[in-house]
Amino acid sequence: MGTDDIEHYPDDSPTGDIAYLARSRHRIPTLVALTERPRSRPELCELTGVSPSTMRRTLDEFEDRIWIRKDGYQYLATRLGEAIAAGVEELLERVETERKLRDVWHWLPDEVGAFPIETWADLTVTVAEPDVPYRPVNRFESLLRETTTLRFLRPEVALMEPCLDALYRVVDDGVDVTLIDRPNCHTYFFSTYPERSSEMLQRENFTVLEHEDLPPHGIGLLDERVTISCYEQDSGTVQALIDTDVPAVREWAQSVYDRYTPEARPVEPGQIPE
């Protein structure tokens, strides 16, 4: 579809009305504002930043569509205008949610993608950017500092700086931590940080288990929130972190964690550096 097709929908079609609202940035905010309470034209100009002549033309066009009516020197939305404003706001919220998930959709577990759209809107998505590659790691570190329990399936993000320092501190503070990861990840952790890992493993509140066949994503269960770590399969780098307090997502995350826990084994003493 070319640009001309987009700009010239039939004015008497539903798509034409949608295109009319979307073509100028002030139209949707104006209609939404008039659903909240009556407003004068100068007030609407100040609210939207458009000129009096532009606002006059917009209000005339709204009146022609029976979306608003004039009451003295003020304007207010009709029931038709309220219906249009509510529908447009819902559409904008859905598009905003879609844009938030667009870059991480291919990393999401299928079960999360199957949740209702309303659930998606309550996901906090933190994506690594070229200029801020540690943004997801920093997000997890901020959540880690606030929790009193942590159970984590594939916890690579928790073993990266600055999360590792935070993990060390919360374990020292008595936070109950259980990590379930693959044997090679534990071997790397122990060999890279021998003194720190040895000290942490001596604490009763720090448990390390291993499992050969874990999912491609990480699942963290904290006090209030669930985290989903999206890892790049070849390098293992953290591409995104998703966190939420939605009960349905927590129920799913708990079920996945419980599925792997019975088969997870304690780390063999030979893996731990002397």
Asked if residue 209 and residue 114 are part of one domain, the reply reads yes
CATH code at 45? 1.10.10.10
CATH code at 165? 3.30.870.10
The domain total for the chain is 2
- Residue 273, pLDDT > 70, answer no
Cα 26 → chain centroid: 27
- Among 94, 117, 142, which residue terminates a domain? 94
Asked if residue 78 and residue 107 are part of one domain, the reply reads no
Indicate the residue type of 237.
Answer: T
- Kindly state the DSSP code that residue 274 receives in the 8-state scheme: -
Is the distance from CB of 136 to CB of 127 less than 8 angstroms?
yes
pLDDT of residue 269: 52
pLDDT digits (tens, 9 = 90+) for 179-206: 999 888 878 788 888 888 888 888 999 9
- Structure tokens given for 199: 């000290």
- Residue 210, pLDDT > 90, answer yes
pLDDT digits (tens, 9 = 90+) for 7-44: 555 567 888 899 999 999 999 999 999 999 999 999 99
Asked if residue 81 and residue 16 are part of one domain, the reply reads yes
The region, left, alpha or beta by phi > 0 then psi within -120 to 50, assigned to residue 174 is left
Asked if residue 74 and residue 107 are part of one domain, the reply reads no
Indicate the residue type of 145.
Answer: R
Cα 193 → chain centroid: 32
Domain extent for 78: 3-94
Q: What is the 3-state secondary structure (H, E, C) of 31-44?
A: HHHHHHCCEEHHHH
d(CA 262, CA 28): 54
- For 73-92, b/e burial (b = at least 16 CB within 10 A) is eebbbbeebbebbeebeeee
- Kindly state the DSSP code that residue 179 receives in the 8-state scheme: E
What's the pTM value of the predicted model, to 2 decimals? 0.79
pLDDT of residue 4: 41
Asked if residue 110 and residue 90 are part of one domain, the reply reads no
